[in-house]
């Protein structure tokens, strides 16, 4: 893409020209300076572990889009002010991570079916002048399973946050009926199960659930103070079980290392991260994110190549 152009066909954003002819996303903006680049970013708290800026800025360069992707650390009490800025400034798209995936829904003028199914938004984009919410976590979660030809009949999800919602929505989309949820905070698990028609299980009893697919949707194992933690006792893995960790930094979490040693098939969170990012990039630019190069980039950034 050599220049940013108007789209009225459901592409990355509906554009409105200012008096200088530069095309801006969303509604008419008044008295704004010319912005020579597509501006996107990620909001969440914390954001120190996020590789989204590295990935998307690289992708902009790779496909020839004049774009910048920033990290915007955002406490929940600042969300209203940030969304006022989104409606005023020429911001093309926003990645949304914890703790904002549910709170941001009220600001969206249009929600996709996947957002409604998951009850969470991880992406903001413009379409025909409307601020739209999408959940690319759903497609990001399903893509690695589809690539290896696995459609599980049963699943146990550890965790009850926004990522767990996307996992359940994706499994429901595939027609998986047996879905159990275990969370360290019982109230959160009950709320999620009531909303998404799942079976809750007490955290202390989670290892008693026999499931073909085991998913870590908790922060246990994430880079930082929880890196050495795992949500699953090593002795409770079942040989041949599919073990999927949504954490991508580090790529090889303790959860995955121990699952692999126990004879399980493992899927690292890097694959979900790449596929959900590719779906976001497509919404914002109408371009395909080069997945093979992106995978090499992230591994190199994490010191794995």
Residues 38 and 128 in one domain: yes
Does residue 3 lie in a domain region?
A: no
Tally of domains in the chain: 2
Does residue 39 lie in a domain region?
A: yes
Q: Say whether pLDDT at 83 is over 50.
A: yes
Establish whether 101 is a catalytic residue: yes
Does residue 32 lie in a domain region?
A: yes
For 67-144, strand residue ranges (E) read 67-73, 91-96, 110-111, 123-127, 130-134
Q: What's the pLDDT tens digit per position in 206-226?
A: 999 999 999 999 999 998 889
Residues 254 and 280 in one domain: no
Does residue 128 lie in a domain region?
A: yes
Average pLDDT rounded to a whole number, residues 113-139:
96
Residues 42 and 161 in one domain: no
Average pLDDT rounded to a whole number, residues 253-269:
98
**Annotated catalytic residue within 101, 106, 128, 151:** 101
Q: Say whether pLDDT at 22 is over 80.
A: no
Q: What's the pLDDT tens digit per position in 129-172?
A: 999 999 999 999 999 999 999 999 999 999 998 889 999 999 99
- 5-19, 63-77, 288-302, range with the lowest pLDDT: 5-19
Q: Which positions make up the binding site for NADP(+)?
A: 159-163, 246, 269
Does residue 245 lie in a domain region?
A: yes
Angle 237-238-241 (CA atoms, 0-180°, nearest 5)? 105
Residues 92 and 49 in one domain: yes
Question: Which residues sit opposite 265 in a β-bridge?
Answer: 242
Residues 87 and 115 in one domain: yes
Does residue 7 lie in a domain region?
A: no
Residues 152 and 125 in one domain: no
Q: Which positions make up the binding site?
A: 50-52, 97, 122, 137, 159-163, 246, 248, 269, 276
Residues 101 and 172 in one domain: no
Q: Which positions make up the binding site for shikimate?
A: 50-52, 97, 122, 137, 248, 276
- CATH number of the domain where residue 250 is located: 3.40.50.720
Instruction: Scan for tokens 């108007």, then name that residue.
Output: 6
CB-neighbour burial class of residue 84 (10 A; exposed 0-12, middle 13-18, buried 19+): exposed
Does residue 287 lie in a domain region?
A: yes
Residues 31 and 127 in one domain: yes
Q: Say whether pLDDT at 6 is over 70.
A: no
Average pLDDT rounded to a whole number, residues 102-126:
95
pLDDT given at position 136: 97
Angle 197-144-9 (CA atoms, 0-180°, nearest 5)? 80
Residues 149 and 263 in one domain: yes
Q: What's the pLDDT tens digit per position in 170-208?
A: 999 999 999 999 999 999 999 999 999 999 999 999 999
Does residue 8 lie in a domain region?
A: no
- CATH number of the domain where residue 38 is located: 3.40.50.10860
Question: Which residues sit opposite 167 in a β-bridge?
Answer: none
Residues 125 and 154 in one domain: no
> Per-residue DSSP letters for 218-248?
SSTT-SSTTTT--SS-GGG--TT-EEEE---
Supply the mean pLDDT for the chain. 89
Residues 146 and 251 in one domain: yes
Average pLDDT rounded to a whole number, residues 269-280:
97
Which structural domain range is residue 213 located in?
A: 138-267
Residues 130 and 276 in one domain: yes
Spatial separation of the C-alpha atoms in residues 7 and 17, rounded to whole Å: 12
Closest to 233 in 3D by CA, of 208, 212, 251: 208
| pTM listed for this prediction | 0.85
pLDDT given at position 26: 54
Instruction: Scan for tokens 């996307």, then name that residue.
Output: 166
How far, in Å, are 7, 184, 207 from residue 219 at the CA level? 38, 12, 18
Portion of the chain with pLDDT greater than 70, in percent = 88
């Amino acid at each position: 893409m050599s220049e940013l152009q108007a789209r009225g066909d459901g592409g990355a954003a509906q554009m409105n020209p200012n008096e200088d002819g530069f095309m801006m996303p969303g509604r008419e903006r008044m008295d704004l300076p010319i912005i020579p680049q597509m501006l996107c970013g990620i909001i969440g708290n914390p954001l120190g572990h996020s590789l989204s800026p590295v990935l998307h800025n690289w992708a902009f360069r790779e496909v020839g889009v004049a774009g910048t992707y920033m990290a915007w650390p955002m406490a929940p009490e600042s969300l209203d002010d940030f969304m006022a800025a989104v409606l005023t400034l020429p911001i093309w798209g926003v990645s949304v991570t914890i703790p904002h995936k549910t709170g941001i829904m009220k600001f969206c003028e249009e929600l996709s079916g996947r957002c409604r199914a998951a009850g969470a938004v991880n992406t903001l984009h413009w379409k025909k002048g409307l601020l739209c919410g999408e959940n690319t976590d759903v497609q990001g979660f399903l893509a690695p399973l589809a690539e290896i030809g696995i459609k599980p009949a049963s699943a146990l999800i550890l965790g009850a946050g926004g990522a767990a919602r996307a996992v359940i929505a994706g499994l429901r989309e595939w027609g998986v009926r047996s879905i159990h949820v275990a969370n360290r905070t019982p109230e959160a698990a009950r709320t999620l199960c009531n909303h998404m028609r799942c079976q809750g299980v007490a955290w202390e009893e989670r290892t008693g659930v026999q499931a073909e697919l085991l998913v870590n949707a908790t922060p246990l194992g994430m880079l930082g103070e929880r890196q050495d933690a795992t949500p699953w006792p090593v002795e409770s893995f079942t040989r041949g079980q599919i073990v999927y960790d949504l954490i991508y930094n580090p790529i090889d979490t303790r959860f995955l290392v121990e699952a692999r040693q126990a004879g399980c098939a493992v899927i690292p969170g890097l694959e979900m991260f790449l596929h959900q990012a590719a779906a976001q990039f497509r919404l914002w630019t109408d371009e395909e994110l080069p997945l093979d190069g992106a995978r090499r980039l992230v591994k190199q950034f994490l010191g794995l190549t």
